Amino acid sequence: MIDDTAILQEEPSFLVLNKPTGLLSQSTYGVDSVVFQLRAWLKAREGSEREPFAELPHRLDRGTSGILLVAKTKAALACFSEQFHSRKTDKSYLVAVQGVPNSPYGTWTDWMRKVPDVARAELTSPEAEGSRQAILEYEQLISDGTTSIHRVRTLTGRMHQIRLQFASRGMPILGDQAYGCTLPWYTPRSHDHDEHFGLHARKLSFRHPKDGKAMHIEAPLPSAWQQQFPNFGQ
């Protein structure tokens, strides 16, 4: 549930929240999502009859937790959208996967595209129709020989990029059944239609929409990470 405890920072033109896992970022009318809950919460908080402006310049998958930037004005939305489009933002994640890579750190470059009419992505050749380059950097933090946690920085922002790039190398994200993971991800509440997996948007750097000041936000880890990895020091 989105409330004041989820807000990491708020200013007149934008806010940053720590999205819970299992919740869509945005949805059609009548379907629960971050935007739906946030608008309802802002409206109640402000005691207004008007629907508050709250739009997303980027999104996180339903099963992903962590930093989500929300524009509260049209000007801020345009500013943030341009920053994401031109790669002026910097995003890093914590990723828990089934398996361990051959090297504890590295850079992966692939070509990928969305599968038509399906909520999945696939690797392709550079020449394939709709193909786009995907680049990420990873650093292994811990491993028990069966699973491992990595710090990941994305240099591009493709649909399901981290999920596909790890899964295609035999290391699907914990709980991510869509990309072949057979190990569960801990969650205190679960429904059959929910997605919960070990992918957390940890840090986001961007420019303030008013004065261009550099902003650096970090999202605390959900309790599920400590339940899954009691010895992980974050």
Judge whether 120 lies within some domain. Answer: yes
Residue 8 lies in a domain: yes
Q: What is the pTM of this model?
A: 0.92
Rounded Cα distance, 25 and 4, in Å: 17
The pLDDT assigned to 2 comes to 86
- For 225, the token pair is 């990470």
What percentage of residues in the chain have a pLDDT greater than 70? 96
The pLDDT value given to residue 153: 97
Q: Which of 27, 228, 205 is nearest to 144 (CA)?
A: 228
Range of the domain at 31: 4-228
Domain membership flag for residue 234? no
Q: Provide the number of structural domains found in the chain.
A: 1
Instruction: Using the CB atoms, write b or e for 137-153: b if 16+ within 10 Å.
Output: ebebbeeeeebbbbbbb
Domain membership flag for residue 63: yes
Instruction: Identify which of 110, 61, 105, 58 has the alpha carbon closest to the alpha carbon of residue 217.
Output: 58
- For 72-126, write each residue's pLDDT tens digit: 999 999 999 999 999 999 999 999 999 999 999 999 999 999 999 888 999 999 9
- Confirm whether 51 is domain-assigned: yes
| Chain Cα centroid distance, residue 96 | 13
> Considering the domain boundaries, does residue 176 fall inside one?
yes
Closest C-alpha to 173, from 84, 41, 63: 63
The CATH number of residue 165's host domain is: 3.30.2350.10
Q: Per the domain annotation, does 122 fall within a domain?
A: yes
Nearest to 70, CA basis, from 8, 154, 155? 8
Give me the pLDDT at residue 228, please: 86
Return the top range by mean pLDDT from 19-23, 187-191, 216-220. Answer: 216-220
User: Residue 99 and residue 166: Cα distance in Å, rounded?
Assistant: 10
**Domain annotation covers residue 233:** no
pLDDT at 192: 47
